[in-house]
Chain A
Amino acid sequence: MARNRLYAYSFISPALFVVLAIVVYPVFFLLQLSVSEVSFVQARMATTLSGFNHFSDLISDGAFLNSAYRTGIFTVSSVFLSLITGLGVALAVNKVRKGVTLVRLAVLLPWLLPPVVSGLIWRWMFHDQFGLVNWILMNVGLLQNRQPWMADVATAMPSVIWVDVWIHIPFVAIILLAGLQTIPDELYEAVRVDGGSSLHSFWHVTLPLLRPYLLVVLLIRAIFALRVFDIVVMLAGSKFGSVAGAPAGTTQVFGLLIWQRAIEHLKFAESAAIAVVVLVLTFVVSFFSIKMLPSKT
């Protein structure tokens, strides 16, 4: 038995060491930074503990409050829209009998692309002068004039949400599809024999049995929406490489603010405090989602 234990630890310890050293240590370092003052002495960083002043400063920090508001809008809309549409796609793909491989590949495509490429594609699609989006919408008569999607404060955030939803529908659809395929046909058969409609079987068979899958997708999507970064940089990044969240900070989600404070303004401690807020939010979201999951999964 003791021999077995020794084996066990020797199997898991290399990976555990990497995870502890490279993920857990930085988190502690981050926590330390967030309660410190940082100064640079000959390009080397020195920290001194200062207490929770960076956190109390956040309460009256306009940029932080703006960021919290934008991140909230982004997360709720992106998660909600990708879940609804992803469920629709999963239900539709589940009905496909021919060409399943090809359909699945076409569904999966946006999720596999580098987000940087997706951002680049849509920056080009949303271009006010030469963009395909304006051309199509003007041709169908939905638009009168060319819309500067990413330059207008009214449409910048919706455009970013659109791209994020576009990227993540495949992930939602594929996982829900896996869930749909675990539902035995006999259940649908039973509803049909009792004279229930399709809507009835969707409401009373599909949705309840899909619940654990929906919750898992909800959890993962929410966690990833909170940390969104690359597509916003690609869509709203300025010509000068700044990540201010143009136009007028309307797309400045937490990720952009953390980056701007740390890398552009070299305010490491202030930035770390915001990063800690994101971590806490992530754990709160995870905690409640896991609480809602049935214990067997």
Chain B
Amino acid sequence: MSGRSQNLAWRTVAWLFLLSYLLINLIPVGWLIDTSIKTDADAVAFPPVVFPAQMTLRAFDLALNQFQILANIRNSLIITGGTTVCCALLGVVAAYGFSRFAFPGRQFLIVVVLATRMVAPIAMVIPFLVVARDLELFNSKLILVIANTALNLPFVIWMMKGFFDSIPTELDEAACVDGCSHLGALRRVVLPVALPGLAATMILVFVFTWNEFLFAWALTSNLTAEPLTVALKDFIGEQVTSWPLFSAAGVLAMIPAVVFAAIFQRYIVAGLGAGGVKG
């Protein structure tokens, strides 16, 4: 009986802790959304207006049209899409190679790939900037696709190698007995089995690239290539401070991540678990 009441006490503590944590998680995000539909006057009222009497989408209109956020969103989509495709193609093939073949230098190369994940991007920015200028790729979407692919590829290889390792080799051997190439076995047999893992990995690459800021800021100078994250940073330097405008841009920037997370939450959790434990 005392065991049960003790259990109940723990449960209550756990729930209270979790609830207050979730409030701290959600309130700031809710406040951003709330601010984005306020008038400028309501936004700077103190005490703050939680339920604005006058709701408006003016801030979104201003952000999209006058501040040309739409062009930034397009850049973000192209850079993120390009990176995700490159990572999928290069990463999956390499991971299959690492998972299925024994060859000299395999262990060493795996360590090299893993070690590159530990290189801080802030350390790569200077060399990247110099080389990008020399190759006349500065302020292009291409250089950001290249940079993001390189940043995420080790992660993709590591995750996918883990998923491929968990699939028995008999499966591709059976496929190859029927006369197909290694690439055919990968495409027709192994990949379909590893599809949830691939989905999780690619969603994370998408979110990481969409959120990337450092290289984007260092390697772009105007709307030709600037993604959304850089546009958000530029608001800090604006002469006129309009928090509804900033908030509207912030809301637009967080939509993809939140939508993806909502739809594929289960995959992300599974993928993070697998990737996290292994490295």
Contacts and interface: CB of A to CB of B under 8 A. Distances in A.
B38 to A, nearest CB: 11
B44 A30 contact: no
A105 B127 contact: no
A41 interface: no
Interface size class of chain A, counting residues whose CB lies under 8 Å from the partner chain: 35 or more
Interface of A: 4-5, 7-12, 14-16, 18-19, 22-27, 29-30, 33, 44-45, 85, 88-89, 91-93, 95-96, 101, 103-110, 112-118, 120-125, 129-130, 132, 135, 166, 169-171, 174-175, 177-179, 192, 197-198, 212-213, 216-217, 220, 223, 226-227, 229-230, 233-234, 237-241, 254-255, 258-259, 262-263, 268, 271-272, 275-276, 278-279, 282-283, 286, 297
B237 A239 contact: yes
B60 interface: no
Contacts of A297: 277-278
Contacts of B224: none
Given A22-B146, A107-B22, A213-B277, A230 B250 contact: no
A18 B153 contact: yes
Interface residues of B, number: 101
Interface in B255-275: 257-258, 260-262, 265-266, 268-269, 272-273
A103 B23 CA distance: 11
B15 A92 contact: yes
Given A8-B101, A23-B150, A105-B262, A276 B123 contact: yes
Contacts of B6: 197-198
Interface of B: 3, 6-7, 10-11, 14-15, 17-18, 21-22, 24-29, 31-32, 35, 43-48, 90-91, 93-94, 96-98, 100-104, 106, 109, 112-113, 116, 118-131, 134, 146-147, 149-150, 153-154, 157, 182, 207, 210-211, 213-214, 218, 228-229, 232-237, 243, 246-247, 250, 253-254, 257-258, 260-262, 265-266, 268-269, 272-273, 276-279
Given A116-B213, A166-B24, A237-B236, 5 more contacts: A15-B153, A30-B127, A109-B29, A178-B272, A192-B3
26 contacts: A4-B103, A8-B97, A8-B101, A9-B103, A12-B97, A15-B90, A15-B153, A25-B127, A26-B131, A33-B126, A44-B134, A89-B17, A92-B14, A95-B10, A107-B25, A108-B268, A112-B260, A117-B250, A120-B232, A120-B246, A178-B272, A198-B7, A213-B277, A216-B279, A217-B276, A229-B122
Contacts of B122: 227, 229, 254-255, 258-259, 275, 278
A220 B155 CA distance: 13
Contact of A113 (B29, B101, B243): B29
Most chain B CB neighbours (cut-off 10 Å) among A7, A166, A212, A226: A7
Contact of A124 (B10, B35, B45): B35
A267 to B, nearest CB: 10
